[in-house]
A and B are shown apart, each in its own frame.
Chain A
Amino acid sequence: MADTPYAVEMKDIVIRFPGVLANDHVNLTLQKGEIHALLGENGAGKSTLMNVLAGLYKPSSGMISIHGETVNFNSPKDAIAKGIGMVHQHFMLVPTQSVTENILLGLDDPKFIMNLAEYDKKILALQDQYGLKVDPTAKIWQLSVGEQQRVEILKTLYRGANILIFDEPTAVLAPQEIDDLIQTMRSMVAMGKSIIFISHKLQEVTAVADRLTVLRKGVATAEGIRVAGVTREKLAELMVGREVVFRVEKKPQKAGDVILSVEGVSAENNKGIKALNNISLELRKGEILGVAGVAGNGQSELAEVITGLRPCTGSIKINGEEVANQRPSKAIKSGVSHIPEDRTKVGTAPNLTITENTIMKNYGDAPIGNGWSINFTEAREYARGLKKAYDILAPSVRTMARKLSGGNLQKVILAREISSSPKMMVAVQPTRGLDVGAIEAIQTLLLDQRERGTAILLVSEELEELLSLSDRIAVIYEGEIMGIVDAENADINEIGLMMTGTKRSEQ
């Protein structure tokens, strides 16, 4: 192995963006015929590093060589010419064009007039070779996500790529499709291709990769170590920079007075179909009540009626005060904070800055507001404080929310919601789609709130999360509470049965 040059060698790569050092002297080597995982949290600089290899960005300094030959890419075309192909996380496909057209995009052949039928045949032959089936005449928008990914892979193979970069390829796939993809990657490696596989999911990496490189905040914390013999815990530590608790510690704590009482509440969903059916529950001070259920069984609607976003029948009292069918501001004034399910559309305003997003609730209060204007110097100071306290990674508080990664965006929301010192918090899927470090941070924040005496209603689809965070778990099915169990000695099978519609037997 020592004599053959690396398929890819990236040396001392530094990438600077205005205000951010995205990659700081990173080294990466890819051997011929291996799968090399590039591991790191969201925003660690993995995609940036790979975009450099794909010719989209130019590094500020550093050297890249391909098969032993030093290269200098000025455009993606140069990288493609050297046999590098990238399967992007957000597919780079034109939805209105056919599979074949997308594969031919940017090539010099056909020269002018396109006889697509002829190229359809070529692409079918290529599909057979790699077992990647997809109808070449179909338009991209007609395809499933898995099929679209196959088109992305075919695009690189058609150009004769022998170094393939997969940018978080499993993030969008169903479990069965993930298996297929891993199979495809293995067979490509068997045919002599080399693969760089970007991921933040530890299980996949240990299952697929030969070696791995870990990035944290733009710095490589492990360079090309062998996967065999590395534990999941060690990898998580390399990614996050400290020991990661896969199950956060929850202190035993006595619940206090009733904060929220929901009685006989029914509501309809957006389609006008009954989503909540005569729901009653109580939530106490310093308690986390988990709501378990398969998605779409009324969890979102429950969160919305409590926060005043959805009309309902029945009674919802917070500290004895009726809040049902009032304006959301009433719920906010009663001390309810809300971590909505959709953090990009409901939780934040994407085109506003971090500052503006953090002051959305208290913009009227001194010293930020004085009733009719906003003091932005104070607002920024306030946002800077939150950015530091909640470890929000962004160039500055003037950064627009849409440029933040999911974990950092969720931290902005939590920072805003927690700093209003809520009596009660409704958190819907607060950790969905986040990486291990961010999940741990968010869960720890929720537990801190519990210790401070906040009553928390936690809606989640992750049973493991509910079991480790909640004091009690309510199981919801078709808008009805099937039963409420203590989290400590809960029987997972029983919860599973309730989630599919079996009522808890009387005790």
Chain B
Amino acid sequence: MNFEIILHSGLATGTILLFAGIGAIFAERSGILNLGVEGMMLLGAMAGFSVSLSSGNAWVGLLVAMFAAGILSLAHGLVTIHFQADQVVSGLSLTFLGTGLALVLGEGLTGQNPPLIPDVSIPLLSQIPFIGPVFFENHSILVFVGYLFAPLSWYYIHKTRPGMHLRAVGQKPSAADTMGISVYGVRYFYTFVGGCLAGLAGATISLSVSPGWYSSQTTSGQGWIAIALVIFAQWNPLRAALGGYLFGAIRRGILDLQGPALLFGFANPLYVNSNLGFFLQMTPFLLTIVALVMGSRAAARKRLGSPAALGVPYVRGERGH
């Protein structure tokens, strides 16, 4: 049990949720709920790993991972934006599609050793006691990208013109439409952005945080946690980042709790009975289910500040927009 290690590891694994969660926030802010995050992440993880292996460059793998998941998300865009199909059904199908594609194309990748995204330390900053080792020492470059990405995303959504247009399209598409903003264009774009970020999150796993390809165990349900995180975060990227780090730290903390035979001088119940450990490991997923149930209630969603047009297809001139 070492707090420094738990926090350090929480930041690393939290970065995965940060990318996927902020990606989902972008899509949902435009009114598109994409439940396919898990599938897009897995495809990203596979594509990144595979391309890094074949190209010999982890960064190329990362880019291809983002692009692959982004393209996959456009299928969801086409079905829900253009054909106005139910977003929940389409998103679930996308998870199956993404998972299936990743597992088939990822056949034989297990055990390979492609180049990975390097870990670095920031000079000077890493010298600060406690904070330095936790935040700035031996982290993947992607963790540092995450530090910048969350506040920049927040700034983009709230303080820039395209961010304002994004919010308007998700809250009241008819208002945006009458002012000459292309509702479909904005929704396609941010669906794609959400896909790219899910792909980045997947590659963050396979090329950096817990490198390797372990078929569907690679993402192990973190896509669902990311979707729940969006509701916890109330569609705010900064809160999504904090929530992601917290989730990460909790997961690591639970693992660490199971290690020692003695805890504070007593026999460690988690060490004695490993089933208790499994139970604790389940808790983030339990919270996810609670969040998703909450998020599916229209009234609760409204109170949490959900985009008003989330999940509603836009048809010009139809009553009720």
Contact = CB atoms under 8 A, between A and B. Distances in A.
Interface of A: 51, 54, 56-57, 75-77, 80, 86, 88, 90-97, 101-102, 104-107, 110-114, 155, 402-403
Nearest to A81: B180
Interface in B127-185: 159-162, 164-165, 167-168, 171-172, 174-182
Contacts of A76: 177-180
15 contacts: A54-B178, A56-B177, A57-B317, A76-B177, A92-B178, A92-B179, A94-B171, A94-B172, A96-B171, A97-B164, A97-B167, A101-B168, A106-B181, A111-B161, A402-B319
A77 B168 contact: no
Contact of A51 (B165, B317, B319): B317
B168 A403 contact: no
Contacts of B174: 90, 92
Interface in B298-321: 308, 316-317, 319-320
Contacts of B316: 56
A56 B164 contact: no
B160 A113 contact: yes
A110 B319 CA distance: 32
Given A92-B175, A106-B176, 12 more contacts: A86-B178, A92-B172, A94-B167, A94-B168, A96-B171, A97-B164, A97-B167, A97-B168, A101-B164, A105-B176, A106-B165, A113-B160
Contacts of B182: 75
Closest 8 CB pairs of A and B: A106-B179, A77-B180, A92-B175, A94-B172, A92-B178, A106-B180, A105-B179, A76-B180
Contacts of A402: 319-320
B167 A403 contact: no
B160 A94 contact: no
A57 B181 CA distance: 15
A86 B178 CA distance: 9
Nearest to B320: A402
Contacts of A112: 160-162
Contact of A93 (B161, B162, B175): B175
B165 to A, nearest CB: 7
A321 to B, nearest CB: 41
Of listed B167, B174, B175, residue having the most chain A CB within 10 A: B175
Contacts of B172: 92-95
Contact of A114 (B161, B176, B178): B161
Interface of B: 159-162, 164-165, 167-168, 171-172, 174-182, 308, 316-317, 319-320
Contacts of A88: 178
B311 to A, nearest CB: 16
Contacts of A95: 171-172, 308
B317 A56 contact: yes
Contacts of B167: 94, 96-97
B160 to A, nearest CB: 5
Given A77-B180, A111-B161, A114-B160, A105 B168 contact: yes
Contact of A105 (B160, B164, B319): B164
A107 B165 CA distance: 10
Nearest to B179: A106
Contacts of A92: 172, 174-175, 178-179
Nearest to A77: B180
Of listed A88, A93, A94, A96, residue having the most chain B CB within 10 A: A94
Contacts of A113: 159-161
Contacts of B168: 94, 97, 101, 105
B165 A105 contact: yes
A191 B181 CA distance: 30
B316 to A, nearest CB: 7
Nearest to B162: A112
Contacts of B176: 94, 105-106
Contacts of A105: 164-165, 168, 175-176, 179, 181
Contacts of A114: 159-161, 164
Nearest to A109: B161
Contacts of B319: 402-403
B140 to A, nearest CB: 30
B48 to A, nearest CB: 30
Contacts of A91: 175
Nearest to B177: A76
A57 to B, nearest CB: 7
B180 A94 contact: no
Of listed B168, B182, B316, residue having the most chain A CB within 10 A: B168
A105 B176 CA distance: 7
Nearest to A111: B161
Contacts of B165: 105-106
Nearest to A400: B319
Contacts of A110: 161
A92 B172 CA distance: 8
A85 to B, nearest CB: 10
Nearest to B180: A77
Of listed A96, A107, A155, residue having the most chain B CB within 10 A: A96
A76 B171 CA distance: 19
A63 B264 CA distance: 85
A159 B57 CA distance: 51
A45 to B, nearest CB: 13
A423 to B, nearest CB: 36
B215 to A, nearest CB: 42
A86 B174 CA distance: 13
A43 B165 CA distance: 32
Nearest to A51: B317
A97 B161 CA distance: 12
A51 B177 CA distance: 12
Nearest to A80: B180
A75 B172 CA distance: 18
A102 B175 contact: yes
Contacts of B175: 91-94, 102, 105
A54 B182 CA distance: 15
A91 B175 CA distance: 8
Contacts of B178: 54, 56, 76, 86, 88, 92
Contacts of A97: 164, 167-168, 171
Contacts of B179: 76, 80, 92, 105-107, 155
Contacts of A54: 178
A56 B168 CA distance: 18
A354 to B, nearest CB: 15
Nearest to A110: B161
Nearest to A57: B317
B249 to A, nearest CB: 32
A114 B320 CA distance: 30
A471 B161 CA distance: 62
